[in-house]
Structure 1
Amino acid sequence: MSQTTQGPDGQPRCKWCQAAPEFFDYHDNEWGYPVADDQRLFEKLCLESFQSGLSWRTILSKRENFRRAFKQFEINAVAAFDDADIERLLHDEGIVRHRGKIQAVINNAQCAQCLITEYGSLAAYVWQYEADMPPEPQTASTSPESVAMSKDLKKRGWKFIGPTTVFAFMQAMGLVNDHANGCVIRAKAAQMRRDFIVPT
């Protein structure tokens, strides 16, 4: 079975793009490109946590609302959120109003501060889990690395951060090139990974 679908320009894209028109832009311009910016990494971990049990289309359509509600996912700002912020967010119709997930974002921001103190950056921590031998594209929803990272984060107090959530984060942030074989963007993502300087 083909892992690709025809894009708007007639070129093949990962098959999941066909689920929604807006996925093509996200796929072509973001998904699978390596990221070293702590704020973007933290945002993606939070959004993947919110996606748990929902569709990515739901989260992507609300992404700007999430950014506004959570101070652009600036780690120190979110870590300082209090009970009043939680109540504000629970009344924000632009986001997913799930108390446990909202509390998890605040908790995880505080945990991220600890990681940054220890490793120098969230990126340095995250990129130590880059796979040496990733699974064949589009064949897995977890990996040994996502299991290990999830386990370690949970040990450090993070919440809503299971292996599937972590693997989706790794796919999106370029820790693994999971663009389908035949996808027109796969080579571009591979080149960006080759040029990327892994944070240490």
Structure 2
Amino acid sequence: MSYCTFVQSITEKKDLIHKNYHDNYYGFPIEDDDELFGRLIMEINQAGLSWTTILNKEQNFRKAYHQFSIKKIAKYGEKDFERLMNDAGIIRNRLKINAAIENAKIIQLLQKEHGSFKKWIDHHHPKTKEQWTKLFKKTFKFTGGEIVNEFLMSTGYLSGAHDANCPVGKKLRKKKLDEK
């Protein structure tokens, strides 16, 4: 058994953050709506940047976005928008910040209709990557194919998060089978 090729290639100390993410988060299902939304915020903010940058700023994102509270973010107004635009600890991109706020409002509607964001996703599962992308683009802001793919792979809805022989991937697949 060997870890995913990417993890095996990590040689620099600054990149070890990827090993922790790989071993404990990548491909793992998320039950909590705020955490699920937080992963979507992180994936949206990664667009055009390295995942290392986003992982290193995760705690800053959590603090800036009220621990990814959908309820609080949905109420953000101009003052919060400006606060985020001036926060050097996160990605200061108008489109990405606006997407987080608007997507929180959309998720609140989905929660009312389906009981939770997770239940909305579960209701649509399984789909192909192309079907998911079409659904997300129709439903949310700033959700192109790569963002949707990584969000769904990182939360266990799409396969491909781990190489076939990776022990973390094997553990996740076994857990899925045990739950059926």
TM-score (norm 1): 0.81
**1 CA distance for matches of 2:20 and 2:168?**
11
Q: Which of the numbers 163, 166, 180 marks the counterpart of 2:145? A: 163
Residue of structure 2 equivalent to 1:172:
154
- CA shift, 1:123, in A, is 0.4
Is residue 33–residue 193 contact of structure 1 (8 Å, CA) maintained in 2?
no
- CA shift, 1:148, in A, is 2.0
Counterparts of residues 128-167 of structure 1 (less than 5 Å): 128-131=123-126, 145-156=128-139, 158-167=140-149
Residue of structure 1 equivalent to 2:97:
102
Residue of structure 2 equivalent to 1:77:
72
- CA shift, 1:170, in A, is 1.2
**Cα offsets for 1:105-136 (capped at 9, x unmatched):** 000000111111111110011123444xxxxx
Secondary structure at 2:3 match in 1: strand
Residue of structure 2 equivalent to 1:58:
53
Q: Which amino acid in structure 2 is aligned with residue 27 of structure 1?
A: H
Is residue 44–residue 147 contact of structure 2 (8 Å, CA) maintained in 1?
yes
Is residue 29–residue 156 contact of structure 2 (8 Å, CA) maintained in 1?
yes
**Cα offsets for 1:152-185 (capped at 9, x unmatched):** 23323x1111122111011111113421011121
Residue of structure 1 equivalent to 2:6:
16
The number of aligned residues is 174
- CA shift, 1:36, in A, is 2.0
Unaligned runs of 5+ in 1: 1-10, 132-143
Counterparts of residues 14-53 of structure 1 (less than 5 Å): 14-17=4-7, 18-19=9-10, 20-53=15-48
| Structure 1 pair 37–194 and aligned structure 2 pair: CA distance change class (3 A) | farther
Computed over aligned residues only, the root mean square deviation of the Cα atoms, in angstroms, reads: 1.7
Higher helix share: 2
Unaligned runs of 5+ in 2: none
Question: Percent identical across equivalent pairs?
Answer: 36
